[in-house]
With several copies, the nearest count.
Chain A
Amino acid sequence: MIDLPEGGTVADFGDLDGDGGDWQGIAASGGRDETALNLSLDGWEGPLDLLLELARKQKVDLRQISILDLVDQYLEFIDGAEQLPLEIAADYLVMAAWLAYLKSAMLLPKDEQEDPSPEELALRLHLRLQRLGAMREAASRLMARDRVGRDVFLRGAPEGLRIDRSIAWQVDWYDLVRAYGQVKARNSPAFHTVRDRQVMTLESALDRVSGMLGMSLDWVELREFLPPGADARLRKSAMASSFVAALELARTGRAELAQDDIFGPLRLRRVRASA
């Protein structure tokens, strides 16, 4: 087993017994890394965590720890931890390698040092440890507060405040009457009447046009054949029928057609009997 003293100021963290769950005392089902680490490393959560605990062992302010000492302690610890399962060891070994490099770099004369300088690397490590340490401290102070359900308690059996909602239904006179109108309209028998629409049949147009042609020898505009005073719809129908009648009369040789320009007025004239 790895022999490490208990962490100093973090007594409130109880996860050193290796159960690995997020709630102490609840069977471990937690993260793969946590479970594995706890089994073999007594609860150290990764290399940074281990480094922080080692740093605390120097018993000085975190701001004054010796990085060189820390590197030595870490490497010594990893050396001693022989039976680490490989998959857990990986992170720790990467850190060990990096620290070994850092140490050798720090021992080099200044002008042989590479960029970034080992001092800068060490400073970064230092800053990270400080921040992790600060959060760990804060967490333990937070956990030590008077907590609801542990130190202070809420009312055991509150009566409860109730808001009973009653509904005030809204409808106005217009909605009411209109609704009735719609019911009546929907359900009263509906009578559909087809309006009597005035049309001029082709036969009557033929009669009318040929009759009217007989009365004149001159050209007459097609328009003149329409019944006077007819409403718009009848006029349309009469125009269509009269046009077809005109064509028919022309086809059978009883009338001549003339149109001076496209869409111009269409004119008819009776064909005089050659006989």
Chain B
Amino acid sequence: MSETESLDRAVEAALFASEDALTVDQLATHLGDVDKGELREALARLVAFYSERGIHLVERAKRWHFQTAPDCAHLLRKERESLRKLSRAATEVLAIIAYHEPVSRAEIESIRGVQTSGGTLDVLMEAGWVKPAGRREVPGRPVIYATTPEFLRHFGLESRRDLPGIDELRATGMLDPVDDAFEAEMAEAGSADSDGESDS
């Protein structure tokens, strides 16, 4: 057996057996201080090897794990208890945290235009998708929230950059606070006025 084959088998076995997704560092340590460069190459080979199979090797939040291929879902779902469905409030809060993180409860509420019950954040924290991430250094020092690696894993995201549409939302200013957007619009309108006719 060649050396790369032997490394591939070891990585395969370790990731299969592990109860948690593993970082490259964890894998390297576990396999007896393997060179990390070689490890990454082995992971790349395995991703390719499994890409057409019923199970895939995936990276989420810098951690690697095997999971079933998405197109096999219909075969596996029926015996499973289907996921409890999140309320609309909770999904919105989750999205706001994910796209704006870190974000305080007041900031969440200002986007939603409605108070957020403590229970909603609790549900997201209990699911392991959201965690407190310190405090904002403004008067009152409100707690700010961010998503977890488990969030990325659950939603199949390698990193927050993979959040659907985040680039476009950022480019169109949708992630900026209303006040900032308002200032920008007014400034633009002002300059438009100045080179157009003013009607007053």
Contact = CB atoms under 8 A, between A and B. Distances in A.
Interface of A: 10, 12-16, 20-26, 29-34, 43, 45-49, 91, 110-111, 120, 123-124, 127-128, 130-132, 134-143, 145-173, 175-187, 190
B200 A152 contact: no
Contacts of A30: 87, 89, 117, 119-120
A60 B95 CA distance: 24
Given A34-B117, A137-B165, A182 B80 contact: no
A181 B175 contact: yes
B184 to A, nearest CB: 7
B31 to A, nearest CB: 10
A178 B176 CA distance: 9
A189 B10 CA distance: 64
Nearest to A144: B164
User: Which residue of A34, A151, A186 has the most chain B CB atoms within 10 A of its CB atom?
Assistant: A186
Interface in B78-125: 78-92, 94-96, 98-99, 111-120, 123
Contact of A161 (B19, B88, B116): B19
Given A161-B18, A168-B81, A175-B86, 6 more contacts: A25-B85, A152-B73, A159-B68, A162-B78, A177-B95, A184-B175
Contacts of A135: 92, 95-96, 99, 111-112
Contacts of B115: 31, 33, 46
B141 interface: no
A43 B95 contact: no
A170 B165 contact: no
B178 interface: yes
B16 A153 contact: yes
Nearest to A128: B178
Contact of B83 (A111, A134, A170, A183): A170
A251 to B, nearest CB: 46
A13 B89 CA distance: 9
A135 B88 CA distance: 12
B44 interface: no
A183 B84 CA distance: 22
B17 A161 contact: yes
Q: Interface extent on B, as a size class?
A: 35 or more
B155 A45 contact: no
17 contacts: A23-B84, A25-B85, A30-B87, A31-B117, A33-B117, A46-B115, A137-B165, A149-B83, A152-B156, A157-B65, A161-B30, A164-B79, A165-B80, A169-B84, A170-B86, A182-B184, A185-B180
B16 A49 contact: no
Given A150-B77, A156-B16, A46 B113 contact: yes
Given A33-B117, A132-B113, A148-B67, A22 B83 contact: no
B86 A138 contact: no
Contact of B112 (A12, A25, A45, A169): A45
Nearest to B92: A179
B49 interface: no
Contacts of B19: 156-158, 160-161
B17 A154 contact: yes
A169 B127 contact: yes
Contacts of B94: 139, 142, 171, 176, 179
A175 to B, nearest CB: 5
B96 A183 contact: yes
Contacts of B116: 31
Contact of A190 (B81, B88, B178): B178
Given A139-B91, A177-B174, A186 B67 contact: no
A35 B118 CA distance: 13
B169 to A, nearest CB: 5
Nearest to A43: B88
A157 B19 CA distance: 5
User: Which residue of B66, B175, B185 has the most chain A CB atoms within 10 A of its CB atom?
Assistant: B175
Nearest to A158: B19
Contact of B95 (A111, A152, A158, A183): A183
Interface in B152-171: 153-157, 163-166, 169
Contact of A145 (B68, B88, B156): B156
B69 interface: yes
Given A158-B18, A173-B156, A32 B117 contact: yes
